[in-house]
Amino acid sequence: MKTKTQICIIDDEKHGRDYIALLLKKEFPEIEINFEASSVEEAYIYLTKNTPDILFLDIRLNDGTAFDLLSKFREISAQMIFITAFENFAIQAIKNGATDYLLKPIKKIDFVIAVNKALENIKKNQPVSTNPLQDHKIILSTLQGFRVIGIADIVRCEADSSYTTFYLANKTKIMVSKTLHEFEMTLPDLNFFRIHHKHLINVDHLQEYIKGRGGQVVMSDGSVLDVSFRRKNDFLHKIGNAD
């Protein structure tokens, strides 16, 4: 999985590539350049094997144009910033999906605006997590201090008098000196359900329900837990099933 923005600069003039690299270093130091090409052929070979996030494309190259390069592909998913000394290419660049269009000599303010626009488009196109708890966390106080854990990592919670034990997806356990009722009120009821006076489960980790008077659930950690008879109907309703 890519974690950093990947940049490719395509320009047949070294000083042009160096100037873009300099602007990136000064204005966007967190971005690294992954590849530089000086021709259509070099760029084509690179793009058949790599998918950069942002392409800086000088329109006129020694062995053709940026449009010749793009015509070799059905689709380019990268944000494309075209660079040229000729204004008459603007319409063609826009038709080819340009994120922005910079005229030489490049002005720093125009460059910053173009890159920010590309970064914003990349952010918008990133897939949204399908797990609503993925980025939610809870702080659990322990005898040694406290632990910060992801709510999505909680498989189940088990009551023991005035204590609660958390069972996590990585098979670890954390005991906290608070009642299960307190956590029942804290954890989101969209994903958690108290099936028994002793058990609060994360339904995202539910693997199986076994019929019975109250029934039993099998969780992702292999645990088999009783469902209280008086909570059975509410539980089955929550998971969308009927007895």
119 belongs to a structural domain: yes
Looking at the fold, whether 69 and 105 belong to one and the same domain comes out as yes
Looking at the fold, whether 108 and 42 belong to one and the same domain comes out as yes
Looking at 125, 154, 189, the residue that finishes a domain is 125
208 belongs to a structural domain: yes
Whether 241 has a pLDDT exceeding 80, the answer reads: no
Residues 18 and 204: their CA atoms lie apart, in Å, by 51
Helix (H) or strand (E) holding 15: helix 14-27
39 belongs to a structural domain: yes
Question: Cα–Cα–Cα angle for 52, 57, 62, nearest 5°?
Answer: 125
25 belongs to a structural domain: yes
Q: What is the pLDDT of residue 58?
A: 94
Q: Residue 122 contacts by C-beta under 8 Å, 6 or more apart in sequence?
A: 5, 53, 54, 79
Instruction: Name residue, tokens 């008879």.
Output: 229
pLDDT band at 7 (very low <50, low <70, confident <90, very high): very high
Looking at the fold, whether 11 and 112 belong to one and the same domain comes out as yes
Sign for the pseudo-dihedral over CA of 211, 214, 215, 218: positive
27 belongs to a structural domain: yes
Looking at the fold, whether 143 and 178 belong to one and the same domain comes out as yes
Task: Tell me how many domains the chain contains.
Answer: 2
Looking at the fold, whether 108 and 160 belong to one and the same domain comes out as no
Range of the domain at 32: 6-125
Average pLDDT, rounded, for the chain: 88
Query: Which segment of 58-62, 141-145, 149-153, 211-215 scores lowest on mean pLDDT?
Result: 141-145
pLDDT band at 37 (very low <50, low <70, confident <90, very high): very high
Q: What is the pLDDT of residue 89?
A: 82
Residues 137 and 211: their CA atoms lie apart, in Å, by 33
Query: Which segment of 70-74, 76-80, 83-87, 193-197 scores lowest on mean pLDDT?
Result: 83-87
For the beta sheet containing 216-219, the strands, ordered from the edge strand earlier in sequence to the opposite edge, are 206-210, 216-219, 224-226
Residues 119 and 116: their CA atoms lie apart, in Å, by 5
**Average pLDDT estimate for 176-183:** 91
Looking at the fold, whether 16 and 113 belong to one and the same domain comes out as yes
Cα distances (Å, whole numbers) of residue 56 to 46, 110, 150, 165, 191: 14, 14, 39, 54, 45
Q: For residue 159, what is the domain's CATH number? A: 2.40.50.1020
191 belongs to a structural domain: yes
The tens digit of pLDDT for each residue in 187-227 reads 877 789 999 999 999 999 999 999 989 999 999 999 999 99
Top-confidence residue, 143 or 82: 82
Nearest residue to 111 (alpha-carbon basis) of 54, 43, 158: 54
Q: What is the pLDDT of residue 34?
A: 92
Q: For residue 27, what is the domain's CATH number? A: 3.40.50.2300
Looking at the fold, whether 198 and 107 belong to one and the same domain comes out as no
Sign for the pseudo-dihedral over CA of 36, 42, 45, 51: positive
Share of the chain above pLDDT 70, in %: 94
**Average pLDDT estimate for 139-167:** 90
243 belongs to a structural domain: no
Whether 39 has a pLDDT exceeding 70, the answer reads: yes
Looking at the fold, whether 10 and 118 belong to one and the same domain comes out as yes
Looking at the fold, whether 119 and 142 belong to one and the same domain comes out as no
Looking at the fold, whether 41 and 89 belong to one and the same domain comes out as yes
Looking at the fold, whether 179 and 81 belong to one and the same domain comes out as no
Residues 222 and 241: their CA atoms lie apart, in Å, by 22
Q: What is the pLDDT of residue 243?
A: 46
CA 139 to chain centre: 23
Whether 238 has a pLDDT exceeding 90, the answer reads: no
Whether 67 has a pLDDT exceeding 90, the answer reads: yes
Specify whether the CB–CB gap between 81 and 57 falls below 8 A.
Answer: yes
pLDDT band at 135 (very low <50, low <70, confident <90, very high): low
**Average pLDDT estimate for 174-184:** 91
**Average pLDDT estimate for 22-48:** 93
Residues 97 and 80: their CA atoms lie apart, in Å, by 7
Specify whether the CB–CB gap between 53 and 79 falls below 8 A.
Answer: yes
Looking at 96, 125, 154, the residue that finishes a domain is 125
**Average pLDDT estimate for 129-149:** 73
Residues 39 and 46: their CA atoms lie apart, in Å, by 11
**Average pLDDT estimate for 67-74:** 93
Looking at the fold, whether 121 and 164 belong to one and the same domain comes out as no
62 belongs to a structural domain: yes
Share of the chain above pLDDT 90, in %: 64
Looking at 89, 104, 125, the residue that finishes a domain is 125
Specify whether the CB–CB gap between 212 and 228 falls below 8 A.
Answer: no
Q: What is the pLDDT of residue 128?
A: 54
